[in-house]
Amino acid sequence: MMRTWHITTVTDAARARIDTARLTAAYGVPGLERTRLTTALSAQLRQCLTKGGTWRLCLETTPAVPPGDGLLRAVVTSFDDADGQPPWHMTVTCPAGADLSDVGLVADDSAILAEALLGADEDTALVLEKLGEQEGLVEFHREELHQTNQGVLALHAELDAAGRAQRELFAAERKARTEAESARRRLTFLADASAVLTASLNHDEIVRRLPSLLVPEYARSVDVWLFDGEDDRLRQSPRPAAAVVAARSGRPQYAADHPGGLPGVDDQPPSALHPARSLLCVPLPTRRAPLGVLTLTPPGDRWDADDAVMLIELTRRASIAIDNARRFEHNRDIAETLQRALLTDLPTTPELRLAARYLPATHGLNIGGDWYDAFRQPDGSLITVIGDVTGHGLHAAVMMSQLRTALRAYAVDGGTPGQLLTRLHILLHHLQPDLYATAVIARFHPDDPTLTWAAAGHPPPVLRTPDGQVHTLDAKPGAMLGIPLRQEIDDHTVRLAPGSTLALYTDGLVERRAQGIDPGIERLAASLGAFRSEDLDTDLDGSADRLLHPLLSDSERDDDVCLLLCHLPSRGAETVRPSPARLPV
């Protein structure tokens, strides 16, 4: 179907619009689509009238193809095609099955015009209704968008708060990690410094090590004031007032022109001796009274509180190390004095020459219970003995002197070496149940070429014969002296020829931790066998030194060393007076 209108005047345009509206309504075009078409057509016709001339409106339909809809197309063109513009057109859909039999063209009938006008109003009302619905929908979506925006803003606020909290947590974690690392560094330093201070048993050495430990990381300068052990000049030298207060009160003092705020530390005015410096004066405490005062200046402007706590703890440990070193030195001096007093000159006999050496340990507590002795019995026999009391220090030295004295007393009544050792075993068990000893006793008789010996838990004697052969006298020994065991220690004998040499020694000469004792005994035997008989006859003391040298090539010894050489001169050998044992000064 196609219908055409020629439009020249406004009345032509109005009739064409009304006819278009009625036809689209008859075709079943929906109200909104119909209103869009008529409204757009009206606007286009108004433009055509403005331009003038004759215009043509064609309304044509496309048949519907089941089950689809048809199309209704409006086209406005210039009648004479004078403007050269393309035609205006608009297409809407229309359902199939429309009845157009009663749709006629608009006449001058007022009823039809009124109906068309009312129909246009109805279309307008429908558009307004739809517009209202759309406005409500827009308002709903606007509110929804507002709520969404509010939620987004709230989410952003929460995310910002979470980010801020996370940054705070990260900062707290970094701070905690830094503090933990600082604490670990302080604890490591404290442990290492404590190990350095306790490694020495010389209190002067400990005092010398303190500045090197603290400068420059924890202090700019370090001064150690000990209350004794200083010469008169040092005693008269002035000390900061804070150091004097620390010495009298036993509490750490901080002297500066500002409060220190250090835990456990009292604040004092600046020192008159050093007014521009901050001073931390920490007493060196002991159970009785302070040993002295440690005065420090800070590496920067002031100390961190945790560093100050660490320094006070280090000072306490240094005080303990100094006090222990002084106690050790005191006991060592007493023990060394006792040891020197007991190492007397060896007896002089033409038929037996003696040479002894005693070397204290060079590592650790260097006074032990090693001892030797040689004396005559009433029957003219010469008793030689070497022994070792377990432990070190004054207690071991005192116990050694008691055993030495007891042996001399027992020997006055006679008795073989085994009997003498049995008596010492009983004495030590009742005198000191928790202390043990080892010993070897060898007896020489001037009228008998037989050596009688007995051992109790001690390394075996080594015998060199005149032909240079060396034998280890390892016959069944007794157990250690003082153990909770009843025992009768046996005697052993061996024939001696002139030129023979017997070596008695303690385990410090032959025992090494990494090798045991047997390799050391073998080295001793090899060294003794390498001597010439002439050297032993003429220079027994020099031979003792040469025997010790290869066996003690290592500079560090954990135990004392004691050696006693007993040599029967060869026939015709010149008599040489033996010398006392050598003890390092």
Q: Do domains 2-106 and 346-567 have the same CATH topology?
A: no
Q: What is the maximum alpha-carbon separation in the chain?
A: 181
Cβ 240 vs Cβ 281: under 8 Å: yes
Indicate the range of 141-145, 223-227, 285-289, 486-490 predicted with least confidence: 285-289
Q: Does domain 2-106 have CATH number 3.30.565?
A: yes
Which residues, other chains included, contact 415 with Cβ-Cβ below 8 Å and sequence gap of 6+? Answer: 423
Highest mean pLDDT among 57-71, 104-118, 449-463: 449-463
How do residues 504-530 score in pLDDT, each as one tens digit? 999 888 887 777 889 989 999 999 999
CATH superfamily name and code, 346-567: PPM-type phosphatase domain (3.60.40.10)
Q: 171-224 pLDDT, tens per residue?
A: 999 988 888 898 898 899 999 999 999 888 888 899 999 999 998 888 999 999
Prediction pTM value: 0.53
CB neighbours of 439 closer than 8 A, spacing ≥ 6? 385, 386, 387, 388, 403, 421, 424, 455, 456, 457, 458, 481
Label residue 231 by pLDDT band (50, 70, 90). Answer: very low
Torsion sign over Cα 412, 415, 418, 423: negative
The region of weakest confidence among 95-104, 239-248, 345-354 is 95-104
Domain residue limits, the chain = 2-106, 203-335, 346-567
Average pLDDT over residues 393-419: 87
* pLDDT score at 377: 92
**pLDDT class of 354 with cuts at 50, 70, 90:** very high
C-alpha separations of 525 from 19, 52, 551 in Å? 144, 146, 11
Distances (CA, A) of 286 to 230, 461, 469, 535: 19, 48, 60, 57
Q: How many helices (H) does the chain have, and how many strands (E)?
A: 13, 19
Give how far Cα 125 sits from Cα of 3, 18, 40, 121, Å.
28, 17, 17, 6
- The mean pLDDT value for 338-346 works out to 71
- The CATH class, in words, for 203-335 is alpha beta
Residue 576 has pLDDT above 50, yes or no: no
pLDDT over 80 at 395, yes or no: no
Structure confidence at residue 232 (pLDDT)? 37
Do 246 and 267 meet the contact criterion of CB atoms below 8 Å apart?
no
Rounded CA gap, 231 and 326, in Å? 17
> pLDDT tens digits for 2-61?
888 999 998 888 888 888 888 888 888 888 888 888 889 999 999 988 888 889 999 888
